[in-house]
Structure 1
């Protein structure tokens, strides 16, 4: 059994990231069959982890694009243009949004019942936060920072930590904690674009 890990047309681009080709009809060589099979599985495991990392990166890119489209659709710049131009911008953004939503990527994380409940609670907190942005961006920003403080060992000294959110996030898997932290970081960057930086 031969494993062709680096064929002549191999590149590191996403387009050519195919799994190793396995030829089971070839000789086993000097290694014992079990050792050869384990070597193949080791390589496949590395590729699976790389696939998961790439998929998470694509998920984050999609979230970033959706956030940008949302900020455009609610931009104050829309108040400075005519209704006709505003309609053009809105239709353009909606068309891109529809295309973006045709892309579905997901990395499933194994969770027990308590971890599922904890993640559901965390998502509920963040969804409520997102819904409150357009009502009072300053308050929403302050709350977002307290959520972020719950996810880091070096919290922002200028704001506190939401203990309820902290309790929920600690019940999540490590993968979920990392995703939530990145999601909150994206929200804080969104607030920065809105020039919402202080709570009064």
Structure 2
């Protein structure tokens, strides 16, 4: 019986280079390192988180504006012109809207250290005192609100309050922006109520 001879095997066919698949080095550069891919995904997710925080902050502000508008309506002279059942109906309607608005709970938390917490507490205390002064000295309260507002701006538009400014600078950037928006809302409220500004 004849046996077929083994096919000849050259040294080139047995070499390691002949066994491994051919790699195109140019194509390898097109595939990012796993770490780069992960970082790209995380960068995209961080962008989505920042957008989420921004959108939530807008909703917070919109809710505050609605509640502020309801307060303005409640104090508006036209409401006092209503009598009897008409006024009761308007007040019930107003309270129903306010209650409905309060069912929306949107919170954007800002990370703060101890000193920033204390600074924010002081700023809120100063603004709260300003609001209390509305009942006894509305014109003075508006003038002080203007000095607080000027203290939030890098451009000098009038008198500033140095104490308020120094305390505000101890707050986080996010809190500084919120304080400025709160003061801006107060000024709009003053304008709606027709309070005058004293000019020195």
Q: Which TM-score applies when normalising by structure 2?
A: 0.80
- Please name the residue that 1:179 is paired with: 178
- Please name the residue that 1:103 is paired with: 104
Aligned equivalents of 2:65 and 2:105: distance in 1?
14
Residue 125 (str. 1) matches residue 131 (str. 2):
no
SS for the counterpart of 1:104 is coil
Radius of gyration: which is bigger? Answer: 2
Aligned equivalents of 1:136 and 1:65: distance in 2?
25
Residue 35 (str. 1) matches residue 32 (str. 2):
no
Aligned equivalents of 2:84 and 2:138: distance in 1?
25
Matches within 5 A, 1:3-14: none
- Please name the residue that 2:57 is paired with: 56
Structure 2 unaligned residues grouped into runs of 5+? 1-29
Which has the larger share of helix?
2
When structure 1 is superposed on structure 2, of 56-65 and 148-157 the one drifting more is 148-157
Deviations 1:123-170 (A, max 9, x none): 11111212222333211111110111111122333xx21222112101
SS for the counterpart of 1:49 is helix
Structure 1 unaligned residues grouped into runs of 5+? 1-28
Q: RMSD of aligned C-alpha atoms? A: 1.5
Tell which has more relative contact order, 1 or 2 (C-alpha 8 A, sep 6+).
Answer: 2
When structure 1 is superposed on structure 2, of 80-89 and 116-125 the one drifting more is 80-89
Aligned equivalents of 1:90 and 1:37: distance in 2?
56
Aligned equivalents of 1:167 and 1:39: distance in 2?
40
